[in-house]
Structure 1
Amino acid sequence: MKTTYNKVMVVDDNKLDIYFTTKLILKNSLAENVLEFTSAEGAYDYLRDNQTEKSELPGIIFIDIYMPNLDGFEFIDKIRELGENITENCRLCIVSSTVSDYDIHKAKIEKGIPLFSSKPITSEFIERLANLQ
């Protein structure tokens, strides 16, 4: 089965969540390659270092909201500062175990991120992402 994206990125401080998300992405052919990061800082460094290489950029970035040091919302603000090559080529998808109306509002309205999923991510959600392409 043909994949939707060459690369996607999963950023989560919980290794188990990364593992399951990666398995779903690969099983549902959303991407050929999954870039896994346990810190937003590491993911940011990767994007900063590869921002001019479109083939190295992930088509979707799954970002957890609650992480130490640099949380998901701060990460979004920082990568947007990198410029349009990132913002035009990398869709953002917030994932969180929260069901807080405030966080959902902040993600969708304040940050302009229409893609939001509660953890754990499901195969149905991955399929919907594939159909958005």
Structure 2
Amino acid sequence: MLQNIKKIMIVDDNEFDCYITSKLIMSHDDSIEIMEFNSSLTAIQYLEEYQDDLEKLPKLIFLDIYMPILDGFEFIEKFNTLSDTVKSFTKICVLSTTVDDFYIHKAKENENIFFTSKPITMEFIQSLKA
């Protein structure tokens, strides 16, 4: 189901989780460009810089919740201040190992944000619609 997606951004401070997510996506479709960011701050700065350039923007962001400096929810707050171009073009999928219902509910409050548990599965990737 990722045929419309040419670029995916993975934002996760855990390099191993980035690697696993990236490999799973590539095993599904190796034509997708993967952008890995181990810093949520660097990722949001990238989006701020290129927010009006569709060629540079990811169609989908896999976002970890628990990260230092700027956690996933703070990232989403900053994302929501970006241009309408980026907000309408790019979707966010929150990835987490959390079992805390509060965080799961908070992630699902926004209808434009998906949520899934880590590690992602091939079934989940195949179910995504861009």
Measured against the shorter chain, the TM-score band is over 0.9
Query: Counterpart in 2 of 1:7?
Result: 7
List runs of 5+ in structure 2 lacking aligned partners. Answer: none
Query: Counterpart in 1 of 2:114?
Result: 115
TM-score for the superposition, normalised by structure 1: 0.91
Aligned length: 129
1:4 is displaced (CA, Å) by 3.2
List runs of 5+ in structure 1 lacking aligned partners. Answer: none
Q: What are the Cα deviations for residues 56-78 of structure 1, in whole angstroms up to 9, with x where unaligned?
A: 11010000000000000000010
RMSD after superposition: 1.6
What amino acid does structure 2 have at the position aligned with 1:21?
A: T
Closer/same/farther in 2, CA of residues 80 and 36 from structure 1, 3 Å limit: same
TM-score for the superposition, normalised by structure 2: 0.93
Query: Counterpart in 2 of 1:50?
Result: 50
- Distance in 2 between the 1:41 and 1:31 partners? 27
1 or 2, which has the higher helix percentage? 1
- Distance in 1 between the 2:113 and 2:61 partners? 13
* Higher normalized contact order (CA 8 Å, seq sep 6+, divided by chain length): 2
What amino acid does structure 2 have at the position aligned with 1:80?
A: N
Q: Is the 8 A contact 1:93 1:116 kept in 2?
A: yes
